[in-house]
């Protein structure tokens, strides 16, 4: 087991009917004027925004609203939010929505507190050291942003999508009511299932020393998400399935399933280029196309680990003579699972054509300033080969 530090600072309030606690908790944390941030309208249509704002009012807190966050959240709205928060003397930000709303809220929080444009951090790979407090009422189990140290923004001026990593990005409190995910579409539920699995897989499928306890936690999470995912796709209002996905989403990306292992996140790095290139590509959909291709490309560098995953999580019988067959069958089983839950598994299903591959590969290498780290460094040629495996 490698050395590690785990400091997950987000308080999680989980379960039914917790929206009424939002106002009192924010007051306890020192809020007085709150910026309520949300997306394209789902929280208005399903009544959640009204409930949350009522709770703020009941607690004697004043608030202003800023809606309109789009999937793959945009820097321009973050900048608008920073200006609004400064003008209105906001001292607390409450995100009501999915990962995009959360990340937009984090961008506003760091911008106000540091007095710097968030893109300065994103474009230079530096980290903010303070933020206005950010809280969330999560509506979609997927990104893990409700407890993560990450914030991913898209700059529409050059269509670059970049992450900002900082301990200060972790929300101070997140409210997780699985019922608030009942209205999530089958497609977005599928995207969430893939993203949750990927946050653990990108910590599990890495070279170097690891640890049995971390492996077993990761494998348990993957099995639970696979099974609950099937149920939630079939019956969107199954509380236990939605609860499993919601908690797994947080656990999968707060660092817990990677303790003692290296992590490099190559599939995420490649995916961010896809959803930056075509804004309508959902993060989870890009991942479901890329993961099997990436896995087939690199598996020869760690056959025992891919075979272990195949056997323990997907029930593929271990072929001790030809473990590469087990490893390969595991990857194909996972690809079939993604297709079964309605996710794309081929580049053309994302609207991407072979003539786009070089640009995408070039962008990926440019973003990380060199080859993408993985079992082997992935240069432009390797990345194009992965895209071809995803055809
Ligand atoms: O905008 P509204 O109307 O709310 O609709 C959203 C949006 O269209 C809808 N939705 C959310 N909750 C709903 C709902 N519809 C009905 N009922 C509900 N309860 O779902 C659509 C997608 O929402 P979005 O927030 O974009 O999805 P997700 O949570 O998957 O977040 C994706 C973003 O997070 C980033 C991704 O790159 C992407 O930009 N990530 C952030 C991470 C982090 N900060 O730690 C890590 C991830 O790896 C990821 O990169
Ligand atoms: Zn992700």
Q: Which residues, 6 or more positions from 233, have their beta carbon under 8 angstroms from its beta carbon?
A: 186, 189, 190, 193, 341, 342
Q: How far is CA 123 from the centre of its chain?
A: 20
Query: pLDDT at position 178, please?
Result: 98
Mean pLDDT value across residues 357-376: 95
Mean pLDDT value across residues 147-176: 96
Query: pLDDT at position 44, please?
Result: 97
User: Which of 36, 68, 97 to probe ligand 1 with, by most ligand atoms within 8 A of CB?
Assistant: 97
Query: Is the pLDDT assigned to residue 263 strictly greater than 90?
Result: no
Strand bridging mode 33-38 / 134-138: unpaired
Q: Are 198 and 248 in contact (CB under 8 A)?
A: no
Neighbouring-strand partners of residue 109: none
Mean pLDDT value across residues 148-177: 96
**Three-class DSSP category at 71:** coil
**Three-class DSSP category at 219:** helix
Average pLDDT over the chain reads: 97
Percent of the chain whose pLDDT exceeds 70: 100
**Three-class DSSP category at 366:** helix
- Using 50, 70 and 90 to split pLDDT, how confident is the model at 210? confident
Q: How many CB atoms lie within 10 A of CB 235?
A: 12
User: Which of 188, 278, 287 to probe ligand 1 with, by most ligand atoms within 8 A of CB?
Assistant: 188
Query: pLDDT at position 159, please?
Result: 87
Q: Kindly report the pTM of this predicted structure.
A: 0.98
Which residue, judged by its Cα, is nearest atom 18 of ligand 1? Answer: 184
Q: How far is CA 355 from the centre of its chain?
A: 28
Which residues of the chain form CATH 1.20.1090.10? 185-389
Q: How far apart are CA 354 and CA 181, in angstroms?
A: 36
User: Which residues are near ligand 2, the ion (C-beta closer than 5 Å)?
Assistant: 195
User: Which of 40, 95, 99 to probe ligand 1 with, by most ligand atoms within 8 A of CB?
Assistant: 99
Query: Is the pLDDT assigned to residue 222 strictly greater than 90?
Result: yes
CATH 3.90.45.10, applies to 185-389? no
* Residue 322 burial (C-beta neighbours within 10 Å; 0-12, 13-18, 19+): exposed
pLDDT digits (tens, 9 = 90+) for 69-91: 999 999 999 999 999 999 999 99
In three state form, how does the secondary structure of 84-130 look?
HHHHCCCCEEEEEECHHHHHHHHHHHHHHHHCCCHHHHHHHCCCCCC
Ligand nearest to the CA of 255: 1
CA of 212 to the centre of ligand 2 (A): 24
Mean pLDDT value across residues 157-185: 96
Q: Which residues, 6 or more positions from 113, have their beta carbon under 8 angstroms from its beta carbon?
A: 128, 130, 131, 132
Which residues of the chain form CATH 3.40.50.1970? 11-180
Ligand nearest to the CA of 143: 1
- Ligand 1: atom nearest CA of 39 is 1
Pick the CATH number of 11-180 from 3.30.413.10, 3.30.230.70, 3.40.50.150, 3.40.50.1970: 3.40.50.1970
């Amino acid at each position: 087991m490698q050395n590690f530090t785990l400091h997950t600072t987000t308080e999680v309030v989980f379960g039914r009917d917790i929206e009424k606690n939002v106002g009192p908790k924010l007051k306890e944390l020192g809020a007085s004027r709150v910026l309520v941030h949300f997306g394209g309208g789902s929280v208005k249509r399903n009544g959640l925004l009204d409930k949350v704002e009522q709770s703020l009012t009941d607690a004697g807190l004043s608030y202003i609203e800023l809606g309109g966050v789009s999937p793959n959240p945009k820097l321009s709205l973050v900048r608008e939010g920073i200006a609004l928060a400064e003008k209105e003397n906001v001292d607390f930000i409450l995100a009501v929505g999915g990962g995009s709303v959360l990340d937009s809220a984090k961008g506003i929080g760091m911008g106000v507190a540091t007095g710097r444009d968030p893109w300065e951090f994103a474009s230079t790979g530096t980290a903010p050291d303070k933020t206005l407090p950010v809280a969330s009422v999560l509506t979609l189990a997927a990104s893990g942003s409700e407890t993560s140290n990450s914030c991913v923004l898209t700059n529409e001026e050059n269509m670059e999508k970049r992450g900002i990593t900082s301990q200060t990005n972790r929300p101070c409190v997140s409210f997780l009511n699985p019922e608030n995910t009942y209205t999530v579409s089958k497609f977005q539920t599928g995207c969430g299932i893939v993203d949750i699995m990927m946050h653990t897989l990108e910590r599990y499928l890495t070279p170097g020393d690891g640890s049995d306890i971390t492996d077993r936690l990761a494998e348990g999470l993957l099995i639970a998400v696979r099974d609950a995912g099937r149920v939630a796709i079939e019956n969107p209002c199954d509380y236990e399935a939605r609860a499993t996905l919601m908690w797994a989403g947080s656990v999968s990306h707060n660092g817990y399933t990677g303790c003692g292992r290296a992590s490099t996140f190559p599939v995420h790095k490649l995916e961010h280029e896809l959803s930056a290139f075509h804004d309508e590509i959902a993060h989870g959909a890009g991942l479901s196309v890329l993961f099997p291709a990436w896995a087939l490309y690199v598996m020869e560098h760690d056959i025992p680990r891919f075979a272990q995953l195949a056997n323990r999580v997907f029930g593929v019988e271990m072929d001790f003579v030809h473990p590469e067959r087990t490893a390969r069958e595991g990857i194909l089983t996972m690809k079939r699972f993604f297709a079964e839950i309605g996710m794309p598994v081929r580049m053309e299903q994302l609207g991407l054509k072979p003539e786009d591959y070089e640009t995408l590969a070039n962008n990926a290498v440019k973003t990380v300033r060199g080859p993408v780290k993985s079992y082997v460094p992935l240069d432009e040629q390797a990345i194009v080969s992965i895209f071809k495996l995803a055809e």
